[in-house]
Structure 1
Amino acid sequence: MQIQTESPAYTIPSGDHVVTMRNRKRMDLTSVKTIDRFDQEEFLVRTSQGMLTIKGEELRIVHLDVDKGLLTLEGSVATLQYDEEETGSRNFLHKLFG
C-alpha cells in the first residue's frame, strides 16, 4: 500500500482495508462491506479482509458511509479479531442455524 503525502491529508488507494485507532477511543475503517451486528459491547463488521470483531465498552457509530465503505466508531476498544469469511454450504447452514 502506498500512502501519498503530497498534502496534509493522506490519500488511501481505493480497495485497501485500513484501520486507524486513536487512543483506543476512536476507530476509522475503510473497505467495510456490511455491519452484521452491533451493540455497545460488540461490532461484527464484514470487511474486504474478512470478518472483524470489535469488542469494548460504550461503542457507537459516529459516521457511516455505505457507498464508500467507511465506518467511524467511538468508545473504549478492548479487542480486535479477524476471522476468515466462511464460504460455500457451511456459510449457508450457519445462516440458517447459526
Structure 2
Amino acid sequence: MQIQTDSSMYTIPSGDHVVTMRNRKRMDLTSVKTIDRFDQEEFLVRTSLGVLQIRGEELRIVHLDVDKGLLTLEGTVQTLQYDDEEAGSRNFLHKLFG
C-alpha cells in the first residue's frame, strides 16, 4: 500500500496500523478489523493494535474496505483513545459484574 503526501510517497508494510488525519476533518485508517459501534459522535474501531475510540461531531464513513482493512471517516474529530482489546473486555465485564 502506498500513501501519497505533498512531498513524497510512503510505502506502508502490509499489516501496519496507520492513522492519517487531515485538519481534524478527515481520517484514514489501515489494519481495521471491525467497527464495533458507530454514530455521529463516536466510533469504536477494532484495529490490529487494539480498540480505537474516535469521538467528535458529525462523524460518518466515507470509505470502508473490509477485505483490505481500510476506513476513511469525515467529520470533526475531537479525541482519539486506544485501549488494548483484552483491557476493553475486562472493563466491560467489570461494569456488568463489578
Q: Which TM class, normalised by the smaller chain length?
A: 0.7 to 0.9
Residue 39 (structure 2) aligns with? 39
d(CA) in 2 for partners of 1:82, 1:47? 9
Greater strand share, structure number:
2
What is the TM-score with the length of structure 2 in the denominator? 0.81
In structure 1, how many angstroms separate the alpha carbons of the residues matched to 2:90 and 2:47? 19
Show the counterpart of 2:82. Answer: 82
- The one-letter amino acid of 1:74's match is E
Separation in structure 2 between the aligned mates of residue 82 and residue 90 of structure 1, nearest angstrom: 15
Asked whether 1:70 is paired with 2:70, we answer yes
Pairs within 5 Å for 1:20-31: 20-31=20-31
Runs (4 or more) in structure 1 with deviation over 6 Å come to: none
Percent sequence identity over aligned pairs: 84
* Equivalent-residue separation in structure 1 for 2:38 and 2:12 (angstroms): 26
Give the unaligned 5+ runs of structure 2: none
Whichever residue aligns with residue 81 of structure 1, its letter is Q
How far apart, CA to CA, are the structure 1 residues paired with 2:61 and 2:9?
A: 23
Report how many aligned residue pairs link the two structures: 89
Compute the RMSD of aligned alpha carbons.
Answer: 2.5
Deviation at 1:43, TM superposition (A): 0.0
Partner-residue secondary structure (3-state), 2:86: coil
Q: TM-score, normalised by structure 1?
A: 0.81
Structure 1 residue runs without a partner (length 5+): none
